[in-house]
């Protein structure tokens, strides 16, 4: 039992050391990992981000209040968000565009992303990871 506890403690310390700390970062690069789409009928389906036209990478700029595709994607998509809040280690973004509401929650210490996009009768949930967009 002590050996198991020591191994688990070691994993926790190791994962904390490799966390993507984005505390106080203004330009954040995020990648979608998993996605799910749900319909008002109650049916939900796992899907790849690609199947749902979710960009591979996005740049979140908290100063400009925009969520944009990267230049390399060639998509040239950008959406403004109206609210940005940093509280208790979480970054919250919210906005409305083209009859869709969206909300992002990013853990600043780990860079883990959870996003929800909703429109009438349909919602998409995305899980991903973020890091400093100006990595050197």
Q: Are 76 and 84 in contact (CB under 8 A)?
A: no
Residue 28, domain member (yes or no) = yes
Cα 115 to chain center, whole Å? 5
* Residue 54 per-residue DSSP state: -
Can you tell me the distance from the alpha carbon of 84 to that of 70, in angstroms, rounded to the nearest whole number?
20
CA dist., res. 108 & res. 8, Å (int): 23
Looking at residue 67, its pLDDT comes to 96
- In a domain, residue 11? The reply is no
Average pLDDT on 95-101 reads 95
Per the structure, the count of domains in the chain is 1
Q: Which domain holds residue 102?
A: 20-132
8 part of a folded domain: no
Three-state DSSP at 133 gives coil
Is 10 part of any domain? no
Q: Is residue 2 in some structural domain? A: no
List C-alpha distances in Å: 78 to 2, 6, 47, 102, 116: 51, 46, 23, 13, 17
Kindly state whether residue 114 falls inside one of the protein's structural domains: yes
Do the domain assignments include residue 90? yes
Domain-located, residue 31: yes
Regarding pTM above 0.85, the answer is no
- What average pLDDT does range 60-78 have in this prediction? 91
How much is the pLDDT for 108? 97
Tens digit of pLDDT for each residue in 12-61?
A: 333 344 458 999 999 999 999 999 999 999 999 999 999 999 999 999 99
Determine the pLDDT at residue 120: 96
């Amino acid at each position: 039992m002590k050996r198991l506890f020591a191994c688990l403690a070691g994993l926790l310390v190791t994962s904390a050391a490799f966390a993507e700390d984005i505390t106080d970062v203004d330009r954040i690069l995020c990648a979608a990992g998993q996605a799910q789409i749900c319909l008002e009928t109650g049916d939900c389906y796992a899907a790849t981000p690609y199947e749902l036209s979710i960009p591979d990478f996005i740049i979140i700029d908290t100063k400009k209040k925009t969520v944009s595709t990267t230049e390399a994607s060639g998509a040239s998509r950008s959406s403004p968000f109206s609210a940005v809040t940093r509280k208790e280690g979480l970054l919250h973004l919210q906005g409305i565009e083209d009859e869709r509401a969206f909300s992002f929650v990013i853990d600043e210490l780990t860079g883990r992303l959870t996003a929800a996009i909703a429109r009438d009768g349909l919602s998409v949930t995305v899980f991903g990871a973020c890091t400093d967009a100006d990595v050197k």
